[in-house]
Amino acid sequence: MPTSDTVRIAAVSDVHYGKHSQGALQPLFTQIAERADVLLIPGDLTDYGLAEEARLLARDLTAAVKIPIVAVLGNHDYESDQSQDIADILTDAGVHVLDGDAVEVHGIGFAGVKGFAGGFGRGTLGPWGERAIKQFVQEAVNEALKLESALARLKNATRIALLHYSPIRATVEGEPAEIFPWLGSSRLEEPLTRFQVSAVVHGHAHKGSPEGKTATGIPVYNVSLPVLRAAYPDQPAFRIIEVPRPAITAESEDRRAFGRRATDREPPASRVADAPAS
């Protein structure tokens, strides 16, 4: 448990573990464990979406990281139709793998979903014309609905969202403009605004920008490993988000005991201001 008046949340995504990655990021994971109270990994945990790759990552995480870990899968984790195996392997290693779920750690609420593509603002793809286009758009809508239902379950004053795809354009800037629509969707922004999350972390845009804000000023961090390495070359490649440590109350203890996850299958520093009361 954190001992100070802040909870230090580390985040890094797009670790892309491959068949030869054993040990590759263990020094980074060790630094994270020494400096943070919880680790977020929002997607692209593996390179080709293979269970074998997930096993190597799970082994490195288990060896180096003794703090709670919360993750969502990314598009790469779906490449080989082994996404459920990947989720199971990481869950067995103690990782909270969220897919429209929420979990409470150190009194902070975390909601996670992969998200999807479709573009931003006025350029957002609409459900018109061919059936294939409508299905594509529906996938983005479904992911936004999953995010909404996950956030709705959280009663914590401080709520953090994990996405793989970006909910805003600002944090994909740096990528070629031609591919912006494949890097995220504005449809993900509305639930973040409605539920007044304290901060958002995402990945996927490896050449994007490290920081942005939603239209209502919610901080959004692109924590893709390549982005962090490029933006902060003199620092270890993870972001730390500091949030005020919630007081432990009888109500929060009850939530920890009974409401941790609604769909459990089994029983450079950034400071986020005090979140509004829920």
Q: Which residue in 7, 10, 14, 220 binds Fe ion (CB under 5 A)?
A: 14
- Residue 273: CB atoms within 10 A of its CB come to 10
Query: How far out from the chain centre does Cα 175 lie?
Result: 20
CB 36 to Fe ion: min, Å:
21
Q: Near Fe ion by CB under 5 A, which window of 57-65, 74-82, 147-155, 177-185? A: 74-82
Residues of span 32-71 touching Fe ion by CB under 5 A = 44
Q: Near Fe ion by CB under 5 A, which window of 1-9, 72-80, 143-151, 172-180? A: 72-80
Judged by CB, which is closer to Fe ion: 214, or 222? 222
Contact in structure between 95 and 77 (CB atoms under 8 Å): no
Q: Near Fe ion by CB under 5 A, which window of 75-83, 144-152, 181-189, 268-276? A: 75-83
Contact in structure between 138 and 146 (CB atoms under 8 Å): no
CB 96 to Fe ion: min, Å:
20
Question: Max alpha carbon distance in the chain (Å)?
Answer: 56
CB 164 to Fe ion: min, Å:
6
Judged by CB, which is closer to Fe ion: 158, or 224? 224
Handedness of CA 237, 106, 85, 201 (dihedral sign): negative
* CA–CA dist 243, 38 (Å, integer): 12
* CA–CA dist 21, 268 (Å, integer): 25
Judged by CB, which is closer to Fe ion: 107, or 184? 184
CB 226 to Fe ion: min, Å:
8
Stated length of the chain: 278
- Residue 235: CB atoms within 10 A of its CB come to 14
The answer to whether 202 contacts Fe ion (rule: CB under 5 A) is no
Residues that bind Fe ion (rule: CB under 5 A) add up to a total of 5
Judged by CB, which is closer to Fe ion: 186, or 224? 224
- For residue 200, the cross-strand partners are 161, 220
* CA–CA dist 196, 190 (Å, integer): 10
The answer to whether 75 contacts Fe ion (rule: CB under 5 A) is yes
Q: Which residue in 8, 202, 204, 239 binds Fe ion (CB under 5 A)?
A: 204
CB 37 to Fe ion: min, Å:
25
Q: Compute φ and ψ for 81, nearest 5 degrees.
A: 55, 35
- Write the CB contacts of 139 (distance below 8 Å, at least 6 apart in sequence): 116
The answer to whether 185 contacts Fe ion (rule: CB under 5 A) is no
Site residues (vs Fe ion, CB under 5 A) = 14, 44, 74-75, 204
